[in-house]
């Protein structure tokens, strides 16, 4: 496409240069087409004139899933040493979550020499898997949406993994929701499909069909206009704030109103059915619906409208293949490399990092530093106090809060999925249908009350989702239980060594785990007798292994975070020159949120909106697919 535009532009210039200019033509009449040509040339250069990381040619033939753990460890567990740092670095990325790996792969593919540094012993962040006693568990990934053929996210993942990721569709229903307890418990199922998702909900709520239709209308707007919110981070900050504060942005798109609108306040106008309120809010992330954004909750449901997917081979397949891409283009991903601080030059610009501990520190220099370790860790822990106290940094920190801590119970069973009567469907359990009261009551409990009163829980079976699990873990099954907790409930043990926090800590987290496991067994009674392994991750585990600030997976996704004015300010570039942010904290939570955080960050670093390139590639692929389908249909007719 760029070559065609170049030919067109050159032809236009040649034609204009050959025209005879009338003597009576005024200066402004000459200036107008000249101004147009200059503007067109600048736009062309900005959109098409620079190297793109995206191309059809970058995809390779998909290889088999690598089952050899030692070979996987060579990719995911390559430890840091000074000798392994590539020479002539262009950029350093702190943290190997999806956001960090994405920006690193994109920069590497346009010729930049990139180094990714991970403080844990394995790359991947919340997307890594760990193996224990013959079981493989995913730390943070449960499923991903928007990965149907030629979707924007699927095209992006294919580009940063060179086409090596393979996703499994989880089928129907992908989620089952239980509300209430005992005899009054209600069961609802969520289906995918452009029309099927809405139709299936209407069957379950026949008295609320109009409310469902209105919600799906808003959901469609939020999904189709998400790029309007992303644009706030890509256009000049002064322009974004001007459009928002003058009200022009609201005239251009309703998504700005939805993003700052209370989810509950809007649902209250829609229906009084509290069960339906729960269905429209069932992706819990620690914020009551009354304090969360209508836009975010609608977008989360829409995310799975075209299918729910799981990476074949487990969550670690994602960092495994992106790491290979980075290395294929001359970069490197090194683990066991805790970054202690960001180096600044005499002008206050980022110029490298210090890696290691107080006994053995190594300085690694690069003209660009990108942080994927979170907004709080970056500004509070990695910068000198005099820099972190800058007004622009403090303003950003004061507008956000750490999310709730995640509490995860990993369970291993000496039985197959068939023997346990489990499947790929995720189970969501809620003790009450008033999520606001339920969550307020729970998060305001005293520390000793909380373990026996967990009000909501996710139950997921990763081995039942993955066809390779029977080869990786023959005769075994895994279950993961997830809920949210207050960091303060565990804070008294935060300064103790990770394996020596004492009996009180063990007893306290075991109380949570027992309550959650017993609750899961009510729905899957065969689990209890086949349990052979159980491990519990608290917010302190997340802080230790993943560097998570206060053990949270992401920022608190409240209305402040999605206020359009703050979204325009919370961008990838920072008040520190040459220091950028990527990942979930830049835009939104989840794998997809981190992916787009990486795309936004790479666009900022390269001063080139990569979404243009991605959209043109998507259009090209869809056109090729339509042509292929037409040819196949023609063959069938003959």
Is the Cβ–Cβ distance between 540 and 435 less than 8 Å?
Answer: no
What is the average pLDDT value for the chain, to the nearest integer? 91
267/215 Cα distance (integer angstroms): 9
In this predicted structure, the answer to whether residue 2 has a pLDDT above a threshold of 50 is no
DSSP state of 312: T
> For residue 173, is the peptide bond before it cis, meaning its omega torsion is within 30 degrees of 0?
yes
Question: What is the structure's pLDDT at 9?
Answer: 45
Q: For residue 360, what pLDDT band results from cuts at 50, 70 and 90?
A: confident
pLDDT exceeds cutoff 90 at 19: no
Instruction: Give strand pairing partners of 405.
Output: 485, 552
* Residue 626 burial by Cβ neighbours in a 10 Å radius (0-12, 13-18, 19+): exposed
Residue 305 has pLDDT above 50, yes or no: yes
In this prediction, residue 637 carries a pLDDT of: 79
CB 118 within 8 A of CB 333: yes
Domains and CATH numbers, the chain: 56-159+312-399+570-613 (3.50.50.60), 172-306+401-551 (no CATH)
pLDDT digits 0-9 by tens, 615-631: 999 999 888 888 888 88
Is the pLDDT assigned to residue 585 strictly greater than 50? Answer: yes
**Residue with the two structure tokens 């819990």:** 284
Burial class (CB in 10 A: 0-12, 13-18, 19+), 185: middle
Note the pLDDT tens digit of each residue in 45-56: 555 556 899 998
> Model confidence over 159-200: pLDDT tens digits?
999 999 999 999 999 999 999 998 899 999 999 999 999 999
256 pLDDT exceeds 80?
Answer: yes
pLDDT tens per residue, range 488-530: 999 999 999 888 999 999 999 999 999 999 999 999 999 999 9
pLDDT at 16 over 80: no
Question: Which residues face 190 on adjacent strands?
Answer: 175
User: What's the pLDDT band for 33 if we cut at 50, 70, 90?
Assistant: low
Torsion 314-176-478-585 (CA) sign: positive
pLDDT of amino acid 58 = 85
Radius of gyration, alpha carbons of the chain: 26
Are 117 and 353 in contact by the 8 Å Cβ rule? The answer is yes
How does residue 26 score in pLDDT terms, banded at 50, 70 and 90?
Answer: low
Residue-level pLDDT at 638: 72
| pLDDT value of residue 630 | 84
Would you state the pLDDT for residue 353? 97
Beta bridge partners of residue 408, listed in sequence order: 482, 537
Q: How many CA atoms lie within 13 A of 441 on its CB side?
A: 11
Closest CA to 104 of 474, 467, 597, 479: 597
pTM of structure: 0.90
pLDDT tens, 143-155?
999 999 999 999 9
Span of 26-40, 170-184, 250-264 with lowest mean pLDDT = 26-40
Percentage with pLDDT > 70 across the chain: 92
Backbone CA torsion sign across 553, 559, 564, 565: negative
What confidence score (pLDDT) does residue 324 get? 96
| Per-residue CA distances from 418 to 171, 475, 527 (Å) | 17, 10, 12
In what helix (H) or strand (E) does residue 638 lie, and over which residues does it extend? none
Closest to 483 (Cα-Cα) out of 591, 585, 584, 405: 405
Least confident of 95-104, 285-294, 295-304, 354-363: 354-363
Q: What is the pLDDT of residue 12?
A: 45
Q: How far apart are CA 570 and CA 600, in angstroms?
A: 12
> What pLDDT score does 34 carry?
65
pLDDT at 1 over 50: no
Q: In angstroms, what CA-CA distances link 1 with 9, 616, 618?
A: 12, 9, 13
Identify the band that residue 24 occupies on the pLDDT scale cut at 50, 70 and 90.
Answer: low
Nearest to 111, CA basis, from 87, 84, 90: 90
pLDDT at 36: 63
* Residue 59 parent element (H or E): none
**CA-based torsion, 473, 479, 483, 486: positive or negative:** negative
**To which H or E segment does residue 207 belong?**
none
Cite the DSSP H helix spans in 444-500: 462-465, 469-472
Cα 105 versus chain centre, distance: 16
Position of tokens 């004492």? Answer: 502
Looking at the predicted structure, is the pLDDT value of residue 341 above 50? Answer: yes
pLDDT at residue 45, as a whole number: 55
Q: Which helix (H) or strand (E) holds 494?
A: none
Confidence of residue 337 (pLDDT cuts 50, 70, 90): very high
Q: What is the pLDDT of residue 38?
A: 63
Determine what percent of the chain is predicted with pLDDT higher than 90. Answer: 82
Between 47 and 97, the more confident residue is 97
The three-point CA angle 540-543-547 to 5° equals: 170
Give pLDDT, residue 37.
Answer: 65
> At 4, is the pLDDT very low, low, confident or very high (cuts 50, 70, 90)?
very low
What is the helix (H) or strand (E) element at residue 32, kind and residue range? Answer: helix 27-48
**CA-wise closest residue to 84 among 355, 279, 287, 342:** 355
Q: In this structure, are strands 456-460 and 477-485 parallel, antiparallel, or unpaired?
A: antiparallel
């Amino acid at each position: 496409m760029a070559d065609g535009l170049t030919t067109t532009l050159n032809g236009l210039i040649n034609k204009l240069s050959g025209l005879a200019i009338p003597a009576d033509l005024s200066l402004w009449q000459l200036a107008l087409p000249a101004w147009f040509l200059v503007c067109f040339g600048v736009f062309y250069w900005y959109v098409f004139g620079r190297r793109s990381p995206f191309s059809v040619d970058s995809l390779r033939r998909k290889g088999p899933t690598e089952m050899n753990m030692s070979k996987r460890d060579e990719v995911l567990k390559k430890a840091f040493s000074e000798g392994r740092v590539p020479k002539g670095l262009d950029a350093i990325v702190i943290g190997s979550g999806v956001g960090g790996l994405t920006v690193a792969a994109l920069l590497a593919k346009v010729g930049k020499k990139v180094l990714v540094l991970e403080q844990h012993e394995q790359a991947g962040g919340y997307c890594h898997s760990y193996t224990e006693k013959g079981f493989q568990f995913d730390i943070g990934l449960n499923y991903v949406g928007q990965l149907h053929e030629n979707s924007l996210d699927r095209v992006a993942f294919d580009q940063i993994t060179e086409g090596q990721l393979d996703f499994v569709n989880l089928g129907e229903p992908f989620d089952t929701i239980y509300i209430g307890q005992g005899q009054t418990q209600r069961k609802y199922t969520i289906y995918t499909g452009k029309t099927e998702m809405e139709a299936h909900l209407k069957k379950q709520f026949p008295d609320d069909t109009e409310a469902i239709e209105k919600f799906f209308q808003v959901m469609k707007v939020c999904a189709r206009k998400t790029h309007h919110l992303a644009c706030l981070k890509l256009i000049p900050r002064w322009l974004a704030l001007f459009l928002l504060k003058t009200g022009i942005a609201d005239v251009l798109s309703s998504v700005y109103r939805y993003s700052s609108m209370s989810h509950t306040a809007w649902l209250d106008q829609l229906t009084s059915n509290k069960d339906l309120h729960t269905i429209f809010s069932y992706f819990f992330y620690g914020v009551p619906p009354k304090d969360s954004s209508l836009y975010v909750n609608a977008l989360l449901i829409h995310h799975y409208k075209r299918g729910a997917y799981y990476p074949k081979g487990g969550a670690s397949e994602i960092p495994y293949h992106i790491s290979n891409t980075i290395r294929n283009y001359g970069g490197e991903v090194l683990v066991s490399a805790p970054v202690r601080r960001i180096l600044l030059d005499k002008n206050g610009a980022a110029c490298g990092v210090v890696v290691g501990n107080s006994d053995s520190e190594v300085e690694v220099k690069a003209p660009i530093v990108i942080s994927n370790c979170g907004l709080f860790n970056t500004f509070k822990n990695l910068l000198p106090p005099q820099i972190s106290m800058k007004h622009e940094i403090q303003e950003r920190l004061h507008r956000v809060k750490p999310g709730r801590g995640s509490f995860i119970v990993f369970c291993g069973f000496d039985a197959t999925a068939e023997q346990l009567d489990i499947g790929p469907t995720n189970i969501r359990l809620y003790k009450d249908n008033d999520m606001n009261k339920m969550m307020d009551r729970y998060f305001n409990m005293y520390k000793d009350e909380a373990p026996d009163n967990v009000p909501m829980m996710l139950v997921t079976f990763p081995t039942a989702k993955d066809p390779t699990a029977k080869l990786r873990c023959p005769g075994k099954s895994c279950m993961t239980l997830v809920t949210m907790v207050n960091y303060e409930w565990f804070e008294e043990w935060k300064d103790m060594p990770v394996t020596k926090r004492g009996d009180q800590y063990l007893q306290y987290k075991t109380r949570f785990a027992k309550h959650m496991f017993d609750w899961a067994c009510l729905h899957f009674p065969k689990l209890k007798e086949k349990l052979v392994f159980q491990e519990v991750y608290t917010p302190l585990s997340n802080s230790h292994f993943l560097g998570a600030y206060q053990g949270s997976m992401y920022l608190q996704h409240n209305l402040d975070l999605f206020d359009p004015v703050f979204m325009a300010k919370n961008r990838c570039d920072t008040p520190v020159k040459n220091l950028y942010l990527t990942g979930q904290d830049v835009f939104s939570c989840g794998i997809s949120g981190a992916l787009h955080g990486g795309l936004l960050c790479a666009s900022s670093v390269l001063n080139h909106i990569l979404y243009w390139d991605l959209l043109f590639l998507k259009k090209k692929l869809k056109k090729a697919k339509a042509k292929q389908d037409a040819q196949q249909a023609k063959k069938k007719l003959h």
